[in-house]
Amino acid sequence: MNGHKVKVGLMGLGTVGTGVIRLLEGHQDDLKQQTGVQTEIAKVLVQNPGKERSVNVQSDLITTDPYSLLHDPEIDVIVEVMGGIEPTLGFILEALEQGKHVVTANKDLMALHGAEILKKAAEKNCDVFYEASVAGGIPILRALVEGFSSDRITKMMGIVNGTTNYILTKMSQEGASYDAVLKEAQQLGYAEADPTSDVGGIDAARKMSILSTLGFHAGMNLEDVSCKGISEVTSEDIEYGKKLGYVMKLIGIAKQDDELIEVSVEPTFVKNSHPLASVNGVFNAVYVYGEAVGETMFYGPGAGELPTATAVVSDLVTVVKNMKLGVNGRGMVAPYKEKKLKKDEEIFAKYFIRFIVDDKSGVLSQVTKTMADYDVSLEQVMQQPYNKDHKAELIIVTHSSSKKSIQNILTQLEMSDYVNEIKSFYRVEGGE
């Protein structure tokens, strides 16, 4: 920090980088009141200096050389909004090596290399903040670290990917097919040309690994998250769910029982009376259960130029305040608990199962017996005629059962001579 001025190196001038500049320029007086210093962009790293942009940046601030930011002794903070893993990881580690604080919106990087980055930051007494990496403008990470610091979090459940929430909302409200809505989402810019990360659940899984690491103080990795995407969800599934009182959402769940942890991302039927059921479009929401506080929900836009930039600038303000107080690098709590993951027989939930059976007497009792063999009982049952001779569609919702029992039941049903096809099965939440 040089007197009453903090200089920032901005890496990336896409959607979020543009928003950061807008906020820093438009809110300079407010930021100065909060921090007591002026915060200014000293250099901006771009790929294409000649590209037309919606914000005006002085040409002498633009550079294509990352080391002109990383090795500039006057730059105090690096704000990374360029995305990607390489070469971004190297840039951030070098920034920390040079004693610069880091603010990033890069969920992929923090999910995969967060431990390495935070370790380097601790060695150099530097801040690393990454609020914008999860749920856009919703201040969920700060809430977990600061707001719940005196509580013990037992469960986090949320919608943390706007693209899939938009697709499932449109499928639910309009009865459209997955393929049709995905195409529309791509045309509107909500989904990438290659949507695999979003619709496959990978983006949400990365965010849940970050949330569970902070919430449970254990170093959770992407491979610890059981992940299933939405590409196999059909409009028929959604309609049957509606009839039983449920809404389909891609839900991330992180749960801790007696130090044992489960983290998953999967299409889930949420009871229509649960607050998450009414979170529609590209909005995100995270439900947090604390032993002391009970249930809380954080809701807001999960992406976009200004919501995400707001989270970035909020982190930047925290860095500057820490610089004034001389406490950089002291606010981070590294994971300190041993990671103990649940086995399938220790993961309990309700399940929705839809299958085609022979339409004759005794079939339902056979299904019920198969389930009873694994100590699983039924909460809801619905039978519909199927469009083939002497076939019926059977839809059931179980009481809370272990994941292992459900897997065994599905195997038994597939092998039976009275079940023709298992159409789908999904986790069910929010009906307790």
Decide if 354 contacts 384 (C-beta within 8 A): no
Q: Name the CA radius of gyration of the chain, rounded.
A: 24
Comparing CA positions, the residue from 314, 317, 328, 161 lying closest to residue 250 is: 161
Which residues contact residue 372 at a Cβ distance below 8 angstroms, ignoring those fewer than 6 apart? none
271: three-class secondary structure by DSSP: strand
Q: For 191-238, give the secondary structure using H, E and C.
A: CCCCCHHHHCCHHHHHHHHHHHHHHHCECCCHHHCEECCCCCCCHHHH
Peptide bond into 73 cis (omega under 30): no
393 φ, ψ to 5°?
-105, 125
Decide if 229 contacts 199 (C-beta within 8 A): yes
Which residues contact residue 160 at a Cβ distance below 8 angstroms, ignoring those fewer than 6 apart? 134, 135, 204, 207, 208, 211, 252, 284, 286, 302
d(CA 425, CA 352): 5
Task: Tell me the pairing of strands 391-398 and 62-63.
Answer: unpaired
Which residues contact residue 124 at a Cβ distance below 8 angstroms, ignoring those fewer than 6 apart? 96, 97, 99, 329
420: three-class secondary structure by DSSP: strand
SS3 content of the chain, % helix, strand, coil (to 5): 40, 30, 30
What's the sign of the alpha-carbon dihedral 188, 189, 193, 196? negative
Residues designated as active site: 207
Both structure tokens of 341: 């993951």
Q: What angle do CA 383, 178, 421 make, to 5 degrees?
A: 35
